[in-house]
Amino acid sequence: MPDDDRLDIPASLVRQLVATQFPAWAGLGVRPVVPGGWDHRSFRLGDELLVRMPSAARYAAQVEKENRWLPRLAPHLPLPIPTPLARGMPDARYPWSWSVYRWIDGASLDRARVDDDVSLACTLGAFLAALHQIDTTGGPAAGPHNFFRGGPLSVYDEETRTAIDTLGPRVNGPAVTAVWRTALASSWDGTPVWVHGDVSVGNLLVRKGRLAAVIDFGSMGVGDPACDLTMAWTRFSGPARAVFRTALPFDEATWSRAAGWALWKAVITLAAEPDASSSRAHHADRVIQSLLAHRTRCGR
């Protein structure tokens, strides 16, 4: 996705907006959260609050969605999720709505130590199983607001095939394409379920070595749960992957679509990464190799 239209949002602007719209919090310090996020910029507001600001117009619809739905989802989930406390309004200084949340302590999984990946897989699997069981009445179907998470993988067919072609000999093109074709061969015919839409290491908070919260629901929607299962390849292997799959007993077609979601992200990341030795490139390559190894073991 293009990123040249994302706004640079300084802490001074956040401070001004808070002071104008929420004077009770005007005396609290404002400092950027590091890392700062992609879809949204995040800022600590004092010690107990978080300000979350869309960085571009394509993310702006997520504010209303999170403010509406997160309080309804939270009581049904076994782990904390963000709690919206106030909604800021656009003005001449900033063009979109924004949110104030309660701060959740923890370090993201990509920056924290966990005691045991099997335990992590079990806890995350239980969280997703609970999310997928919540009543979806009135929930937002997959679409542009969440970049079609929970929708059909075919939306990304051209982008994925172009990335595979761009990568050329850097990947096993026929084998990677076979994984992609298998993913496209089925669709979700069950009752639509709630999906988080971006279950990744940056959106999982760890505290004292254990999964403590799930954050960033900007890509949530209602549809096919396959997009929520990518950690089977992006993080887990061996016993942890087996536990994760046991906690989420979907059919093989759903797991094939999940593999497709993981493959899509890996190949577009690798194709766009100019430095083949970067950590992003190494991780994307590991995901691709994991997907290919799984396909070989399954005889596909």
The domain locations on the chain are: 11-104, 108-297
Residues 97 and 89: beta-carbon distance below 8 Å: yes
pLDDT tens figures, 236-281:
999 999 999 999 999 999 999 999 999 999 999 999 998 888 999 9
d(CA 55, CA 25): 22
pLDDT tens figures, 140-183:
999 999 999 999 999 999 999 999 999 999 999 999 999 999 99
The contacts of residue 265 (CB under 8 Å, 6+ apart) are: 230, 234, 284, 287
d(CA 55, CA 98): 10
Judge whether residue 190 has pLDDT over 70: yes
pLDDT (mean) for 180-188: 97
Handedness of CA 128, 295, 254, 259 (dihedral sign): positive
The pLDDT value given to residue 37: 73
CATH architecture assigned to 11-104: 2-Layer Sandwich (3.30)
End-to-end CA distance of the chain: 31
Crossing angle of helices 157-167 and 173-184, in 10° steps, is 170
Domain 108-297: CATH superfamily, name plus number: Aminoglycoside phosphotransferase (APH), C-terminal lobe (3.90.1200.10)
d(CA 254, CA 259): 9
User: Could you give the 3-state DSSP secondary structure of residue 34?
Assistant: coil
d(CA 247, CA 135): 19
pLDDT tens figures, 86-101:
999 999 999 999 999 9
Strands 210-214 and 204-207: antiparallel
The pLDDT value given to residue 34: 85
Whole-number Cα distances in Å, 23 to 17, 18, 164: 9, 7, 52
d(CA 44, CA 46): 6
pTM (2 d.p.): 0.94
Residue with tokens 């994307």: 284
Crossing angle of helices 252-272 and 173-184, in 10° steps, is 130
d(CA 300, CA 291): 11
Q: 11-104 and 108-297: same fold?
A: no
Any idea what the Cα angle at residue 195 is, between residues 242 and 131, rounded to 5°? 70
